Chain A
Amino acid sequence: AQRVTQPEKLLSVFKGAPVELKCNYSYSGSPELFWYVQYSRQRLQLLLRHISRESIKGFTADLNKGETSFHLKKPFAQEEDSAMYYCALRADRGSTLGRLYFGRGTQLTVWP
């Protein structure tokens, strides 16, 4: 069965420090992986997706199929990065085609 695991519920770093938010998944097909971010009192919004292989707001994430991971990284965290981050997997087949499976989320706090 498909599953998305974000082991850290809370993560705190100081401004300028590197940050890595972990995400592991299990899925039998070829998943599409996403990172969504939810800033305080705002809606959930797409941060990046693995097929785009792009950097958004300094964040990158590489899909590692061997380790079934999709960790989100940023070399120098900023205070405005403080938010809730959700890793999500989209099914590619069957009756669950298109639906997203979310991890429990990691609350990132960047201290000044």
Chain B
Amino acid sequence: GAVVSQHPSWVICKSGTSVKIECRSLDFQATTMFWYRQFPKQSLMLMATSNEGSKATYEQGVEKDKFLINHASLTLSTLTVTSAHPEDSSFYICSASGRAETQYFGPGTRLLVL
């Protein structure tokens, strides 16, 4: 089946630094990738949608300069949290969809900003 990986699985960083999270579709070409944020015991909140080769579409309230998304190829999208602060600590999940349009989810990346 379709597999989506994320790297790293967890990261701890100092306040003010930038963190990059990778999302890869391992066995299919993902025309669209989605980035979500999940707070403890809460649902997934869509942050942005990215299509390969074009700019990401951000949800209302999500700062595009804060959360930089790049979808450079059909198998890789990256989310960079710039100048991270403790309030950015969260669980970030990506999903990818190909022609079948079913979204396959990555395992998530836990970010802790000190």
Contacts and interface: CB of A to CB of B under 8 A. Distances in A.
Main secondary structure of the interface of B (DSSP, over half): strand
A72 B107 CA distance: 24
Given A43-B108, A105-B43, A98 B93 contact: no
B43 A86 contact: yes
Contact of A102 (B44, B49, B101, B107): B44
Contact of A100 (B57, B103, B108): B103
Contacts, number: 38
B78 interface: no
B54 interface: no
Interface in A55-112: 86, 90, 95, 98-100, 102-105
A99 B104 CA distance: 12
Interface of B: 32, 34, 42-44, 46, 49, 57, 93, 95, 97, 101-108
